Amino acid sequence: MKEYLAVFDIASKRDRYAEMIFKRSYGYIDGDPRAGSPDRLLSELQCVWAWHDENLRYEEMEKRYKALIGRKELRGNCEELVDTTGVGDAVVERFRKHGFPHAIVFTNGGRAHPVYEEIGRIFGESRAGELSPMRTIKEWLVPRKDLVSAGGLFLEQGRVAFAKDLPFREAIESQLTGFTFNKKKQKYMAETEDLHDDFVVDILMACWWVQYNENEIVEGEVLPKDEETSWDPLASFSAKDEPMRDTALWR
């Protein structure tokens, strides 16, 4: 399991592009002796970076994606999720020139499942080389209700934390407060026209991805209850108590 999740909400011309970085960790949950359930660890997400903007061209989104996943903290240690709903393959094909993003397409029903395609068709035969005829996952089709269910569960259980001094933290909190989901129409939206949901989309994708793949997570050693532990979600990014904003990437 890789330590980080990089999540991107790709924007059409009228929407906002948003990117978030989550560090994965574990939380200790007491078991219930009466029910026979053991003590266990549950996955948690610590948001250590957030940024969004509107009216970005596709080449600008590609440039930000390339720069972000190229950071030394993330290289080889990060899974990438990209919302491609409504924008087709245009942007994700640009992203695939630089990384290996998992394309997520939101649906109105059914169950989550992968769509397979030949590697050469996904990444281009020149990059795929001898692997071109082999098949791999092109995209994931995920019901909106599953995304909302996973996000709601993580948030209610306090399994999503936001680093202090996180850029756009107020915007994230405002979007979460103003988020609604219409079960009948299987559509989620902001409560008002002037409120966006780009950060919410990123959070939902991250929570769903962890929950869906949780059966693949090897449970770690549980620390003794009397041992005090703490974590700093920004520790791997900077010795300071905030992201490294001294480079153009973090501005």
Domains in the chain: ranges and CATH: 4-28+41-216 (3.30.420.240)
Beta 113-118 vs 135-143: how paired, if at all? antiparallel
Amino acid 183: pLDDT: 53
Which residues in the chain show pLDDT less than 70? Answer: 12-14, 88, 180-195, 215-251
pLDDT in tens, 141-174: 999 989 988 988 888 888 999 988 898 999 998 8
pLDDT tens, position by position, 27-65: 777 777 787 777 777 889 999 999 999 888 889 999 999
Report the C-alpha gap between 105 and 144 in whole angstroms.
9
Q: What is the structure's pLDDT at 13?
A: 56
pLDDT score recorded for residue 181:
59
> Taking a C-beta distance cutoff of 8 angstroms, is the pair 246, 240 a contact?
no
243 contact partners, CB below 8 Å, separation of at least 6: 48, 49, 163, 165, 166, 167, 234, 237, 250
Q: What is the pLDDT of residue 234?
A: 38
**What's residue 163's pLDDT?**
86
